[in-house]
Amino acid sequence: MMAEAYTNCIDGHAHLAPLSFLNEVAKAPKAFGVKVERTDSGHAVSLPYMPKLRPAGGRLVELERREDWMTAEGVTHQVTGPWLDIVGYTLPAKKEIEWVHLLNEHLAASASSAGDAFRALATVPLRSGDAAARELEWAVNEAGMVGAMLSSDPVDIDVADPSLESFWAMAAKLGVPVLLHGASHSKWDDFGPSYLAYSMGRTLDTTILAAKLILGGILDRNPTLKLALCHGGGALPYLIGRVEDGYQRGIERRDGYELEMGSPSAYLPKMYYDTVTLNERSLRMLIDFVGSGHIMLGSDYVWGPMAQEFVAPVLRTVDDKEMPNILHVTAENLFGIS
């Protein structure tokens, strides 16, 4: 089958650093204690306690410039979350709340002004569960955003901490998905070499966070919660046997918690995943684990490898019955796209 035969694909994992947001914060560096430098490659943001970030420019900052790629790939809709370099999780708690809200305003406005082809995912402040819940409620009910994208355990924050319980409850109440995505700057530096941060650091963050959330009972307390694990779930599908064994032997239970479903592996098909695995055999294994109804296309746009070969790996991997789910049905159901 040829990719050209499909013209109703949905890209469920993309990123945006709104140019309007970067311009606004660049004009008022003292308001947040954040420096924004304009370079030939785009805006370079310097957040507290973080190295100078990669410049944001080109298609990363403007949705309208993606339409040629979307047309070529048969993409009718793109769901775009924040570029995680700029979500502000190292800011003081009060400033983080203000920064996040401003970023969400620009994300929502950018998607709305770019037309029906785009949907926006919110970010939320991570140092207060109640603040995160309020921001998500506003983002969905007032700004028309279709869910949230969070950094998986960035820097000094544990996203599985009980203090965020009210956020998970709000996401379940609203019926919107929460995408977990490896943090730009995470705990990887504490235990892994820098030259593996891209391949393992980003994916291990999500692997560990998802396991903590499962073992902590977040899906028991919020059975309608829609958790989506970016990058094909990281290593979790491959390591779930060891997680299962540790739980059943009683040596890896979070605070002694007993899962209502009795098995960590039983929660894998309850979560959602994208196709950003970069390996067709890995993608096939994921489909066999969780079913095509819980897997959606993802480009990680504007990331080069997936943007260059987006649909073709799926066409080479799945059968005719699985195809519609992965190309568009899963994302339609998850994000409410019709």
- Over residues 179-234, the pLDDT tens digits come to 999 987 777 777 788 888 878 877 899 999 999 999 999 999 999 999 999 999 99
| Average pLDDT rounded to a whole number, residues 134-158 | 95
What domain range is 98 assigned to? 3-18+58-335
Which band of pLDDT confidence, cut at 50, 70 and 90, is reported for residue 307? low
Q: Is residue 108 part of a domain?
A: yes
User: Residue 127 falls within a domain, yes or no?
Assistant: yes
Predicted pLDDT of residue 4: 46
For the entire predicted model, the pTM comes to 0.95
DSSP state of 28: -
Q: Which residues pair with 46 in a beta bridge?
A: 35
Task: Return the minimum-mean-pLDDT range out of 29-33, 48-52, 154-158.
Answer: 48-52
> What CA–CA distance (Å, rounded) separates 330 from 25?
36
The dihedral formed by the CA atoms of 91, 97, 100 and 101, expressed in degrees to the nearest 10: -150
Which pLDDT score, from 0 to 100, does residue 120 have? 98
What is the average per-residue pLDDT within 71-76? Answer: 92
**Is 24 among the domain residues?**
no
d(C-alpha 69, C-alpha 75), whole Å: 8
The predicted pLDDT at position 208 comes to 94
**Mean pLDDT: which of 66-70, 106-110, 151-155 is highest?**
106-110
Structural domains in the chain (count): 1
pLDDT at 5 over 80: no
> CB of 114 within 8 A of CB of 304?
no
Peptide bond into 302 cis (omega under 30): yes
Q: Alpha-carbon distance 272 to 171, whole Å?
A: 15
Per-residue pLDDT of 120-132, as tens digits, reads 999 999 999 999 9
In a domain, 47, yes or no: no
In a domain, residue 42? The reply is no
Q: Kindly indicate the confidence band of residue 305, based on its pLDDT and cuts at 50, 70 and 90.
A: low
**Alpha carbon of 268 to those of 62, 233, 239, 303: distances in Å?**
35, 9, 12, 26
Contact 329, 9 (CB under 8 A): no
Q: What is the CATH number of the domain that holds 147?
A: 3.20.20.140
Residue 76 lies in a domain: yes
Q: Is residue 94 part of a domain?
A: yes
How many residues can be counted in the chain? 338
Q: Is residue 255 included in any domain, yes or no?
A: yes
Mean pLDDT for the stretch of residues 90-103: 96
What integer is the mean pLDDT of 33-59?
89
